[in-house]
């Protein structure tokens, strides 16, 4: 699945989901969890390594802003069969939406709001707000006032 196809899936997610992009990777934070998704276009192992690395580094970056940081799952979106020794789960393209929105709630609204503010301010490890398809709509010459960031109690 190319990132464009992944972006279409992410665009259809509920409004209570925060989405960020960094190159070909996507960060999704929903009430049911936090995920770094990388679309596999050619090398499943490299995509899994990237997703795993970004998940760990993003969790560390979030720790500077939240008092409780959720585990961030690393996933590769691919139609290929998974190898047993990959550092990320492999999810079929048609199951991405289920992966990121189904399950018991583990992240509350205020934490998702903080993540959204960090993405909007560009203060989260190079992640940008929205999905890659949104990138063409952002004028980088326009200045944005910094968003207030507060830690959760």
**Range 10-17 contact pairs with CB under 8 angstroms and sequence separation of 24 or more:** 10/96, 10/131, 11/131, 11/133, 12/97, 13/97, 13/100, 13/101, 14/101, 16/109, 16/112, 17/100, 17/101, 17/112
Write out pLDDT tens, residues 54-90.
999 999 999 999 888 889 999 999 988 777 789 999 9
Write out pLDDT tens, residues 80-132.
877 778 999 999 999 999 999 999 999 999 999 999 999 999 999 999 999 87
């Amino acid at each position: 699945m190319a990132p464009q196809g992944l972006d279409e899936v992410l665009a259809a997610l509920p409004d209570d989901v925060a989405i960020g992009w960094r190159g070909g990777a996507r960060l999704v934070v929903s009430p049911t969890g936090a995920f770094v998704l990388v679309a596999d276009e050619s090398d499943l192992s490299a995509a899994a390594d990237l997703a795993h690395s970004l998940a760990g580094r993003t969790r560390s970056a979030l720790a500077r802003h939240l008092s409780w940081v959720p585990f961030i799952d690393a996933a590769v979106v691919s139609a290929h069969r998974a190898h047993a020794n990959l550092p990320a789960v492999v999810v079929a393209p048609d199951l991405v939406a289920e992966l990121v929105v189904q399950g018991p709630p583990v992240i509350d609204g205020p934490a998702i709001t903080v993540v959204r503010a960090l993405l909007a301010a560009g203060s989260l490890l190079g992640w940008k707000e929205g999905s890659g398809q949104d990138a063409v709509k952002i004028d980088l010459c326009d200045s944005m006032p910094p968003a207030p960031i507060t830690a959760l109690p």
